[in-house]
Amino acid sequence: MPNPKYKFYLIFIIVVAAILRLFWLHRLPVSLSVDEVSIGYNAYSLFTTGRDQYQRPLPLVFESLGDFKPPVYIYLTVVSQFLFGLTEFAVRFPSAVFGVLAVLLTFMITYRLTRRKDLALLAGLLLAISPWHIRFTRGSYEANVALVFLLGAFYSLLNFRRPTLGPVLLILSMYTYHTPKLLAPLLGLGMWFIYKKSLPKSTLLAMLLLLPLLFAGGQTRVGQTLITGDVEINTTISQSLGQLQISRAWLVVWSVINRYLQYFDPSFLFFRGLDLTLNQVVDVGVAYLVELPIFIIGLSVVIRRRLFPKALWWWIIISPLPAGLTLNDYHPIRSLTLVLPLVMIITVGITSILDRLPLAKYLLVAAYLANFIFVADYYLLHTAMQKSDYSFDPLKAVAISALKNSPHYSKIVIDPQFGKDGPYIMGVPDVYILFYGRIHPRVYWASRTPEGFANYAFRHIEWTLDKAMPHTLLIGSPWSLPEHDIAPSQVQEVIRYHNHQPAYLVVKT
Amino acid sequence: MKNVIFGLALLILIILKIYLYLQLGPTTPEYLHLYRAGSLLRYGRDEIGNPLPPLFHGPTGYQLPLLDYLLVPVPSGLIFDLLLWLLPAALVLVAFRSHFLGLVFLAQPLFLWPGSWPAKLFLFLVTVFLLALRRRAVLPAAIVVLLCLETVTDAYLLLPLFLLGLIFFRPYRRFSLQVFSITLFLILAIGLLTARVPGIRQSFVAAHFGLFTNPQVTTTINSLRGEHLLSRTSYLSKLLHNKLTFGYIILQNSARILNPSFLFGLGDKDPFSSSQKIPPLLIVLLPFLFISLFHLRRLPRPILWLTAVSLLIVSLPSTVPIESQLFIFSLSLCFLITSHLTPRLFLSAAAVSLLLLVPMVYFSIHYLPPLVWVARSGGLENIIRLSRDNSPTPLLLADDVYPDPGPFLAYSMRIPPPVNLQPKYHYRNYLRQVNNIEIVSPTDPRLTALDVIPVVATGQLRQYISNPLDRWDTVVSDPFNHPLLSRLIYAKPKI
C-alpha cells in the first residue's frame, strides 16, 4: 500500500472502530449478562489455577449455565484478564478487539475482491459504524470472534498463496461459537469447489478433516436450540398433523425454509432486526434505515454487473443456515455473518451513487449522521430502560450488597428468582458474587456447601420459615419477601432495576 | 406437445381447485356474500332487509356492491370461485400469449386457495384493464376503472397509482393522451362515488390510514419521548421521536410484504388474515425470481411498469396487509418470474409443470386443509342438524371455537332476510340469531338453563358442569377426531 493517504484513512477507520467499540465498554451495555459473568469467572479460574470453575484442568468444552461453551473466548479472556484483571472491561475486551479486527479484515477482503482501495476503505468504514456489528462487539459475544476467524479463513482461501491458514482459522471458529460448526465446513468445502483449480488438494483434505469437529462438544446446546424443539411447530404437529411421519418432516423442512428466508426480510434488515425495544412498534434494524435505498441500488448494480464472485454468493447463501435450523425468529447473533455481504452491497450502492452524483456525498454524510444519532438514542437511553425489567441488571448490586454484608451476618440467603411480573427470571447470584468479590477459586471450592458456598445460600426464600433464622440477611425479590410483613427497620436496602423499579429487598431477620 | 402438457397440468389444477372448494368451502366473509346474493335473488333485499342497496353493511364497515350483484346470477360459490380464478389467467394468457404465465398464475397458493373474492375480482378487473390498455381501448378501460371503484375501497388508492405509473413509465408508446383522459375520468368518478355515501370515505380511511389513530403507536411515541426515562428525560429523544415516527412505521409496514418468508414461506402470521399459513407464492419459484432479477435490464417495459407500480402499491400507509395489494404484487411477481423462463421443449415443460404441481397438490390436499378446517366453518353442519332435530327448542352456541358462525348458518339454512330492520347497521346482532340457533358468549348464563340446547367448547366443559350426573355429547370433532364442540345435558335444574 504505497499511498500514505490510504494508510491514514485506514488508521482513521480503525481508530473510529476502536472508539465505538471500546469507549465506556464497562458501562454499555449497562450490566454484565449471566453468560459474561460466567465467562469472566471461568477465565479467572483458569488464570489463577489452570482449572475451570468446576475444577476441570484446561478444558476444551466449558460447562456453563445449562449448556456447554466452546473454549476460545474464555481462553482469550484469560489473556485479557492478565492485562486488566477481573473486571467488566476485561470480559468484554476480546470481543471489542476482535470487532476492530473484523473491520481490518473487511477492508482486506474487499480490496482482494475489487483491487480498489477506495471501495475497501468504504467497506471497512461501513462495518466500523454498523449498528449490528457495534452492538455485538460491545458484549462478550462469541459469534463476533467466530466471525473474525471466518473472515480470516475467507480471506486466506481467496488469497491462494497462503491457503493453509484457512482451514486452521475455520477450526478455530468452530471452537469459538456453535454456528460455525455448520458454517465452517460448508464455507471451506464450497470455497474449495469454487476455486479448486487454484487451491491445492491438501486444502480439500483439511476441509474434510473439519467434519468430525461437528461433533466436538456443544451437542447439548445444539439439542436445546434445534428447530425440532419449537413449541409452535410441535403444537401444530400434535394438533393437526400428527397422523403421518411425512407431515412432520414436511412441516420441519418448511419451517426451516421459512426461518431461513426471514434473514432476507427488509423489516429485519432495516427496521427491527437489532431488537432494541420491547414492543417493537418501532425499533432499529441491523442496518441503518438510510441504507435501505442504497442497498437496493447496490444490489441491482451487483446483480447487473455481476460484481460479486461466486465465493461471496456462497457466503450469503450459507450464512443464515444455522439460524434457520434453530429456534427463535430473527436471531441477529446467529446470523451475524451476513454483515459482510450487507456492508459490501451498501458499499457498491454508495459508490454507484457517488459515481453519478459526486455531490451526494454531503447528503449521505448528513443522512448517516442523523441515522447514527437516532440509533445511538435507542442504544444509549431506551434499550436499557425498556429491557430493564427482563434483564439481569440487579444482580451486580445484589452481589455487592451480599459481599458488603457478608462479615456481619452468620448467613446470607439469596433468592435467585426475581422479575417484575412474577418471579420468572432465574438468575445466578452465586457467579456474580464470585465475580465481583474476586473470590479465589480455591477458596470457593474449599467453602462449598449444599446450598452455596461460605456463608452464602442460594435458594428460594420461604419468608414464614426464614424470618425466624437468627442473624441472617435475606436478599430476595418482593415476590418472596412480603413488604407488608416486614418492618421498615428490617429493610437494609432496596435494589432497583435500571428503570428504578424495585427488584430485590435486602432484609435482616 | 408442450401445450398438451400445460393442458394436462391445467386439468389437474382444476380438479385440485374443485377438490379444495368442496373440502373447505369459502371463508366466513364469502359465506356472507353468498347469503346476501341469494337473499337479493329470492327476496330483492339484502341480509338486513334493505331493498337493492347501493352499499352493503359488512362486519368491519361498508362493503362495495359489485361483487354481490355479480354473484346474484351465479348458481353456486364454486362456479364463482372457479371463474374468479380462471378468467384473469385466461386474460393474461391471451394478452401476453404465454401458456406458462397462465399456468404459473393458476398454480400459486394465493390464487388457487378458495376465498378472497373481492381482491380476486379486483385483480380480474385489473387484468381486463391491462388488456384494454394493451389494445389501446380507452372506453373499455374507463368502464373497467369505474367497475373497479365498485369492488373494493382499495381501488380508490390503487388505481390512481396505476395510472400515475403509466404516465411516469410510459410502457406503451403514443398513449399519453388516452391515459391522461382515463386519469381525468377516474378523478371525476372517485369524486362522484365518494360524494354519494360518507361510509365509503370512512371505510377507506379506516383501512388505509388507520395507523394515524392507532393508540399503541401514540403510546410508543410518548414513551420514547421520555415517559419511561424518568429523571433522565432527554431533549434529544424529544427531538427524535415525534410525528415523523408515523412515516417510519409506514415504511416498516411496506417492507413487510417484501419479506421472502411471507411471500414464499409460511405466509401471514396474523390469525385473522385469510392467507394465514399460506404463502402467496410457491417456494419453487424463488430461484426463478432471482434469475429474472438477474436479467432485470432485459425485461419488457410493461412488466417493469407493473412491477414498479405494484411495489409502490405495497408501500401504502395501511395498518393491516391489504389483500388487493398482495394480489397485484403477486401478479407482478408472476410476470417477473415467467418473463425469462418460458419452457420451449416438451421435457422442460413437463419438468416445470411437475415442479409446480407436486408441491401444490401435497400442500393443498394434506398440509393446509386440517390447519384451516375450523376457520372455514368445518363441522358447523352438525349444529344445523342438531337444531333441526330439536326444533323449535333454542340452541345456544358458545362462540369461542367458531368466532363468527352466523354467515355460514344463515347461508346453509337459507333463512329469509327481515323486512327493513331499524336501525340499519346491526349486522352483528342480526346474524347472531339464525332460526332457533343463537350464538352467545361463553359466559352467557343461559348456557346452564334446562329449556335450551347448550353447545360449548369441549375444552371448556369444566366451567359449565358442577353436578357429577351432568353429561355431554360430542357434536363436532375435527378431522383428526379431536372433540371440538359438545352438547351439555344437565341432570337436574340449576339454581
Instruction: Supply B248's cell numbers.
Output: 417510519
ipTM above 0.85, yes or no: no
Nearest-CA distance B259 → chain A (Å): 4
Inspect the interface and report whether the beta carbons of B228 and A499 lie closer than 8 Å.
yes
Instruction: Supply A314's cell numbers.
Output: 456462497
A303 touches B at CB < 8 Å: yes
Grouping H, G, I as helix, E, B as strand and the rest as coil, residue B2 is helix
Inspect the interface and report whether the beta carbons of A381 and B232 lie closer than 8 Å.
yes
Given A250, A267, A373, which is nearest B255 (Cβ)? A267
What is the Cα–Cα distance from A503 to A389, expressed in whole angstroms?
8
Given A247, A258, A300, which is nearest B265 (Cβ)? A258
Chain B residues closer than 8 Å to A241 by CB: 367, 370
Q: What angle (nearest 5°) sits at the alpha carbon of residue B288, between those of residues B286 and B292?
A: 115
Instruction: Supply A349's cell numbers.
Output: 450502492
Which tens digits make up the pLDDT trace of B145-195? 888 888 887 787 777 777 777 777 666 666 566 666 677 777 777 776 666
Inspect the interface and report whether the beta carbons of B258 and A266 lie closer than 8 Å.
yes
Q: State residue B172's pLDDT score.
A: 63
Q: Which candidate in A269, A271, A300, A316 is best for mutational testing of the B interface (most B CBs within 10 A)?
A: A271
Rank B122-136, B316-330, B351-365, B383-397 by mean pLDDT and report only the highest.
B383-397
Grouping H, G, I as helix, E, B as strand and the rest as coil, residue B454 is strand
Residue B24 has pLDDT above 70, yes or no: yes
From the number of C-beta atoms within 10 Å of its C-beta (0-12, 13-18, 19+), residue B194 rates as middle
Q: State residue A338's pLDDT score.
A: 96
Rg (CA), chain B: 25
Backbone angles phi, psi at B479, to 5 degrees: -60, -20
Q: What angle (nearest 5°) sits at the alpha carbon of residue A296, between those of residues A292 and A297?
A: 115
Nearest-CA distance A414 → chain B (Å): 29
> Euclidean distance between the first and final Cα of chain B, in Å?
77
Chain B residues closer than 8 Å to A271 by CB: 248, 251-252, 255
In this structure, are strands B483-489 and B437-440 parallel, antiparallel, or unpaired? Answer: unpaired
> What number is the average pLDDT over the span B353-360?
84
pLDDT in tens, chain A (509 residues): 457 788 999 999 999 999 999 999 998 898 999 999 999 999 999 999 999 988 999 988 888 777 788 899 999 999 999 999 999 999 999 999 999 999 999 999 999 999 899 999 999 999 999 999 999 999 999 999 999 999 999 999 888 767 778 888 998 998 899 899 889 989 988 998 898 888 777 777 777 776 666 665 555 566 667 776 777 677 666 655 545 556 677 778 888 888 899 999 999 999 999 988 886 678 999 999 999 999 999 998 998 888 899 999 999 999 999 999 888 888 999 999 999 999 999 999 999 999 999 999 999 999 999 999 999 988 988 888 888 888 888 999 999 999 999 999 999 999 999 988 888 888 899 999 999 999 999 999 999 998 899 999 999 999 888 988 989 999 999 999 988 888 888 899 999 998 888 899 999 98
Chain A residues closer than 8 Å to B294 by CB: 303
Instruction: Supply B180's cell numbers.
Output: 391522461
Which tens digits make up the pLDDT trace of B221-261? 888 887 666 555 567 778 888 888 888 888 887 787 788 88
Q: State residue A237's pLDDT score.
A: 64
Inspect the interface and report whether the beta carbons of B230 and A382 lie closer than 8 Å.
no
Q: Which residue of B has its CA nearest to A270?
A: B252
Residues A497 and A388: beta-carbon distance below 8 Å = yes
- pLDDT, mean over chain B: 80
Residues A433 and A402: beta-carbon distance below 8 Å = yes
Q: Which residue of A has its CA nearest to B233?
A: A381
Strand ordering across the sheet containing B453-457 = B433-434, B437-440, B395-398, B453-457, B483-489, B471-477
Q: State residue B211's pLDDT score.
A: 76
* Residue written as grid cell 425470481: B289
What is the Cα–Cα distance from B121 to B85, expressed in whole angstroms?
9
What is the Cα–Cα distance from A160 to A138, expressed in whole angstroms?
33
Q: State residue B1's pLDDT score.
A: 73
Grouping H, G, I as helix, E, B as strand and the rest as coil, residue A60 is coil
Given A241, A250, A303, which is nearest B370 (Cβ)? A241
Rank A251-255, B350-354, B407-411 by mean pLDDT and report only the highest.
B407-411
Inspect the interface and report whether the beta carbons of A258 and B261 lie closer than 8 Å.
yes
Q: State residue B197's pLDDT score.
A: 64
Number of helices and strands in chain B (H, E): 23, 8
Chain A residues closer than 8 Å to B232 by CB: 381
- DSSP-derived letter for residue A308 is S
B332, amino acid identity: S
B399 CB-near residues (< 8 Å, 6+ apart): B405, B439, B440, B441, B442
Q: State residue B233's pLDDT score.
A: 57
B264 touches A at CB < 8 Å: yes
From the number of C-beta atoms within 10 Å of its C-beta (0-12, 13-18, 19+), residue B135 rates as exposed
> Euclidean distance between the first and final Cα of chain A, in Å?
70
Given B248, B265, B296, which is nearest A261 (Cβ)? B265
Q: Which residue of B has its CA nearest to A381?
A: B229
Nearest-CA distance A150 → chain B (Å): 27
Given A247, A257, A374, which is nearest B240 (Cβ)? A374
Q: State residue A94's pLDDT score.
A: 97
Chain B residues closer than 8 Å to A381 by CB: 229, 232, 234, 236-237
A159 touches B at CB < 8 Å: no
Q: State residue B374's pLDDT score.
A: 83
Q: Which candidate in A252, A257, A497 is best for mutational testing of the B interface (most B CBs within 10 A)?
A: A257
CB count in 10 Å sphere of residue A245: 8
Rg (CA), chain A: 25
Inspect the interface and report whether the beta carbons of A270 and B245 lie closer than 8 Å.
no
Task: Please tell me chain B's helix, strand, coil percentages from 3-state DSSP, rounded to the nearest 5.
Answer: 60, 10, 30
In this structure, are strands A456-458 and A452-453 parallel, antiparallel, or unpaired? Answer: antiparallel
What is the Cα–Cα distance from B344 to B100, expressed in whole angstroms?
10
Instruction: Supply A352's cell numbers.
Output: 454507484
What is the Cα–Cα distance from B247 to B261, expressed in whole angstroms?
24
Q: Which residue of A has its CA nearest to B232?
A: A381
Given B220, B230, B482, which is nearest A282 (Cβ)? B220
Q: What angle (nearest 5°) sits at the alpha carbon of residue B144, between those of residues B141 and B150?
A: 150
Grouping H, G, I as helix, E, B as strand and the rest as coil, residue A453 is strand
A449 CB-near residues (< 8 Å, 6+ apart): A457
> What number is the average pLDDT over the span B402-411?
88
Backbone angles phi, psi at B460, to 5 degrees: -110, 15
Q: State residue B415's pLDDT score.
A: 87
Given A240, A255, A304, which is nearest B296 (Cβ)? A304
Given B248, B297, B480, which is nearest A240 (Cβ)? B480
Chain A residues closer than 8 Å to B245 by CB: 282
Given A241, A258, A300, which is nearest B296 (Cβ)? A300
Grouping H, G, I as helix, E, B as strand and the rest as coil, residue B479 is coil
Inspect the interface and report whether the beta carbons of B240 and A282 lie closer than 8 Å.
no
Residues A107 and A121: beta-carbon distance below 8 Å = yes
Write out the H or E segment, with its range, that includes residue A177: none
From the number of C-beta atoms within 10 Å of its C-beta (0-12, 13-18, 19+), residue B201 rates as middle
HSE value, Cβ hemisphere, 13 Å, CA-based, for A415: 24
* Residue written as grid cell 371525476: B188
B259 touches A at CB < 8 Å: yes
Q: State residue A364's pLDDT score.
A: 96
The confidence band for B495, taking pLDDT boundaries of 50, 70 and 90, is low
- DSSP-derived letter for residue B267 is B
Which tens digits make up the pLDDT trace of B263-315? 888 776 655 455 556 788 888 888 888 888 777 777 777 777 777 777 777 76
Q: State residue A261's pLDDT score.
A: 92
Grouping H, G, I as helix, E, B as strand and the rest as coil, residue A293 is helix
Chain A residues closer than 8 Å to B271 by CB: none
Q: State residue A163's pLDDT score.
A: 72
Q: State residue B455's pLDDT score.
A: 93
Instruction: Supply B204's cell numbers.
Output: 377507506
- Of the candidates A91, A89, A92, which has an alpha carbon nearest to the alpha carbon of residue A47? A91
B252 touches A at CB < 8 Å: yes
Write out the DSSP string of A220-269. HHHHHHBGGG-HHHHHHHHHHSTT-HHHHHHHHHHHHHHHHHHTT-HHII
Write out the DSSP string of A217-231. S-HHHHHHHBGGG-H
